[in-house]
Amino acid sequence: MTHLAKFLGASAVLALSAGAALADPALVFDLGGKFDKSFNESAHTGATRWAEETGNSYAEVELQSDAQREQALRRFAEAGNNPIVTVGFSFMTPLEEIAADYPDTKFVIVDGVVDLPNVRSVIFNEHEGSYLVGMMAAMASESDTIGFIGGMDIPLIRKFACGYAQGAQAVNADITVLANMTGTTPAAWNDPVKGSELTQAQISQGADVVYAAAGGTGIGVLQTAADEGIKSIGVDSNQNYLQPGSVLTSMVKRVDNAVYDAFEAGTEIETGINVMGVDNEGVGVAVDEHNEALVTEEMTAAVEDAKAKIASGEIAVHDYMSDESCPSLSF
């Protein structure tokens, strides 16, 4: 036992001294942890892809509590890591506080905006990605009724719903889009029971494709859609594998690309606001072995066509957050 303890101690010291060579980039995960099958895991994928392709190393940390955010950022900054990539809007407050203390270090925040000279803020055009899955939903629907289930009723989630409705109506002008929000408190992100019942309610109103943009609540939506034999659409990361054969596709935010780009740019990274949209592969639809059979050639063609048109500006998807209103859906 004591030998084992010594060995573990020695290897821990080795691991500590081996980490954090000068100017290695660093990655700070949010509370969900590295393998959360969602946002953080996507960041991890991007970082490992960069490490494999370039042969370089990077430092990383998984936070265990909110209080560690600032501490972790300061540790990395003082160890000379550059750039330091943070994942999640919860890092906005700590970054606002500490970024000015390390003017020579570049910080990146994914999914949030911090207006400081050494911070790059990566945001996603979720409405464009939702537009694409809305088109696919409308093409997959046989009842001409599709549903949207949001988590907490906040402008960001209405942005998803609005883009989705626009995409569906672009394919089928007569389509009915049902939109429900799970609630108005943060509990709405983790209420799969209510997600299930909302799905049931939308099914009884005729919906046969349901798009969930609701965090943990979405697990219940996808489950009920699979149990009831209708199609569903996942969000944020590729959720096709959760219910193979029932999830039509997922609207993915390519956090991995954002992290990869930041690592690739290194210390010379451009600061300011970086918008990840359809044109730079920041958002898109997920197709893999779990949903190939559901995605028809017409869908692929239509999505590719719309992607090109959005990128060229021919199609302008209305952003709910730009004026707090949606032309194609009433809430």
Partner 1 sequence: MDFLTLIQVFDTTIRLATPLLLACLAGLFSERAGIFDIGLEGKMLASAFLTAAVAAVTGSVLVGLLAGIGGAMALAGIHGLASITFRGNQLISGVAINFLAAGLTVVVAQSWFGQGGRTPQLSGNARFGTIDLPFAAEIRDIPLLGPIYADLISGHSLLVYVGLLMVPLTWYVLFRTRFGLRLRAVGENPAAVDTAGISVVGLRYAAVAICGLLTGLAGAYLSTGLQAGFVKDMTAGRGYIALAALIFAKWRPWYALGACLLFGFLQALALRPDVIEGTLGFEVGVQLLDALPYILTVVILAGFVGRAIPPRAGGEPYVKER
Q: What is the nearest approach in angstroms of partner 1 to the Cβ of residue 238?
A: 15
| Pair 208, 142: CB distance under 8 Å | yes
* Pair of tokens at residue 117: 């000279």
Footprint of partner 1 on residues 85-114 (CB under 8 A)?
none
Q: Which of these, 213, 168, 176, lies nearest to 195 by C-alpha position? A: 213
- The torsion angles phi and psi of 99, rounded to 5 degrees, stand at -60, -35
Q: Considering only residues 165, 181, 225, 317, which one is a binding residue for partner 1 as defined by CB under 8 A?
A: 181
Q: Quote the CA–CA distance of 226 and 241 in Å, as a whole number.
A: 12
250 binds partner 1 (CB under 8 A): no
Q: Considering only residues 223, 232, 239, 240, which one is a binding residue for partner 1 as defined by CB under 8 A?
A: 223
Sheet containing strand 209-213, edge to edge, reads 176-183, 145-152, 209-213, 231-236, 247-253, 283-285
Dihedral over alpha carbons 255, 237, 319, 151 (to 10 degrees):
-130
193 binds partner 1 (CB under 8 A): yes
Choose between 71 and 190: whose C-beta lies nearer to partner 1.
Answer: 190
* Pair of tokens at residue 121: 């803020």
Give 101-134 as a 3 state SS string: HCCCCCEEEECCCCCCCCEEEEEECHHHHHHHHH
201 binds partner 1 (CB under 8 A): yes
For every residue of 284-315, DSSP letters joined together read EE---TTTGGG--HHHHHHHHHHHHHHHHTSS
Choose between 81 and 243: whose C-beta lies nearer to partner 1.
Answer: 243
Distance of CA 68 to the CA centre of its chain: 23
Choose between 224 and 249: whose C-beta lies nearer to partner 1.
Answer: 224
Choose between 215 and 277: whose C-beta lies nearer to partner 1.
Answer: 215
155 binds partner 1 (CB under 8 A): no
35 binds partner 1 (CB under 8 A): yes
Count of positions on this chain that bind partner 1 (CB under 8 A): 33
Q: What is the nearest approach in angstroms of partner 1 to the Cβ of residue 137?
A: 19
Q: What is the nearest approach in angstroms of partner 1 to the Cβ of residue 40?
A: 7
205 binds partner 1 (CB under 8 A): yes
* Pair of tokens at residue 317: 């998807």
Q: What is the nearest approach in angstroms of partner 1 to the Cβ of residue 107?
A: 24
Q: Considering only residues 19, 33, 80, 266, which one is a binding residue for partner 1 as defined by CB under 8 A?
A: 33
191 binds partner 1 (CB under 8 A): yes
32 binds partner 1 (CB under 8 A): yes
Q: Where on the phi/psi map is residue 301: left (φ > 0), alpha (ψ -120 to 50), or beta?
A: alpha
Q: Considering only residues 19, 80, 183, 266, which one is a binding residue for partner 1 as defined by CB under 8 A?
A: 183
200 binds partner 1 (CB under 8 A): yes
The amino acid at residue 180 is N
36 binds partner 1 (CB under 8 A): yes
Residues that bind partner 1 in the complex, under the rule CB under 8 A: 32-33, 35-38, 40, 178, 180-181, 183-184, 187-188, 190-194, 196-198, 200-201, 204-205, 216-217, 219-220, 223, 242-243
